[in-house]
Structure 1
Amino acid sequence: MATLKIQLLHPNATLPQYHSKGASGFDLCACETMVIKAGEIALIPTGLSFSFSKKYELQVRPRSGLALKYGISVLNTPGTIDADYRGEIKVILINHGKENFCVNIGDRIAQAVLCPIAKAKFKVVTKLNKTKRGAGGFGSTGLTSTKGV
């Protein structure tokens, strides 16, 4: 099990926690009250800073309940927090909903997952190996099932 060191930067900061034994993500909570107007973007502070092994990254992801019920999502999902970052964790939320959304102190606004990373070694080549798919992208393997059509 990896250790995640946490620094509380704000008196309203909420310690993260996993809300079930099988949860892969822990919740990030707002430390300030803010309103995100419909169609707008806001940077929500958590009042937390982290330190962890350079073998990992933290990925910030949306909470499905906020997305389904209110149209609230993490804009740059997944947001990446690198192991050498020591600033406050802030979450970029977007309100895709039709109504303004109030974020209150302590509200769970996103989830974070500690993920192992692998560094790549870059090698320039003149050709890449061929595959059946080749350069096909953006729907080249099909967009929908034909069942029920």
Structure 2
Amino acid sequence: MTVTIGIMRDAGGDDALPLPTYATAQAAGADIHADIGDDAIILAPGARALIPTGLRMAIPAGYEVQLRPRSGLALRHGVTLLNAPGTIDADYRGPVGVLLVNHGQAPFEVTHGMRIAQAVVAPVTAARFELRVSLDQTERGSGGFGSTGTGPTSKAQPR
């Protein structure tokens, strides 16, 4: 299935940068590039920055674009998206930025044109939220963090 996402460059955006592009025919995410001009952005360990892409999007109703980390940046440098996945809503028409964070131990340099994230187009299902006085019972019940794992306090049985 193919969905058309309208793209517009910000004023002053670099027309030479590619639009979001799939690296392979079956890739789920399209690469998004940094549009920051000549001045690199240095992310110190623990630092975060909103990196401009120079793009705006017109996403059809019923869809969202999720911005996700690039696995190579995460593996090699500890750089990821702080709010992964970041959602771009169908009714947003402002500049698209990528919120990078450096969880690595060395400073990381973001340069113009660098692939910094991937965009995944996903359908959105709207929900109707209803207030109730009780909820149906399940095997898990109210077990929270770690309650389905295998450990001494877990209710789950090893397979």
Match of 1:71 in 2: 78
Counterpart AA for 2:82: L
Deviations 1:105-143 (Å, cap 9, x if unpaired)? 110000010000000012111111000000001000115
Q: TM-score, normalised by structure 1?
A: 0.93
Flag structure 2 segments of 5+ consecutive residues without an equivalent: 152-156
Runs of 4+ residues over 3 Å off in structure 1: none
Aligned-residue RMSD, C-alpha: 1.6
Distance 2:83 2:130 in 1: 29
Gaps of 5+ in 1: none
Report Cα offsets for 1:1-32 as digits up to 9, x if no partner. 11000001112643110000110100111011
**For 1:143 and 1:61, how far apart are their aligned partners in 2?**
29
Corresponding position of 1:98: 105
Mapped partners of 1:14, 1:106: distance in 2 = 9
Is 1:24 the counterpart of 2:3 in the alignment? no
Listed one character per residue, the Cα deviations across residues 59-86 of structure 1 (whole Å, up to 9, x for unaligned) are 1100000000000000000101100111
Amino acid at match of 2:23: H
AA aligned opposite 2:68:
R
Are 2:11 and 1:11 equivalent residues in the alignment?
Answer: no
Query: When the two structures are superposed, what TM-score results if normalisation uses the length of structure 2?
Result: 0.87
Same amino acid, percent of matched pairs: 48
Work out the number of aligned pairs and report it: 146
- Seen in structure 2, the aligned counterparts of structure 1 residues 108 and 143 have a Cα distance that, compared at 3 Å, is farther
Q: Which runs of structure 2 are paired with 1:36-55 in the superposition (5 Å)?
A: 36-55=43-62
CA contact (8 A) 1:14 1:46 kept: no
Preserved CA contact (<8 Å) 1:49 1:88: yes
Is residue 130 of structure 2 the alignment partner of residue 126 of structure 1?
no
Per-residue CA deviation, residues 47-105 of structure 1 (Å, 9 max, x unaligned), is 00000211101111000000000000000001011001111100000001111111111
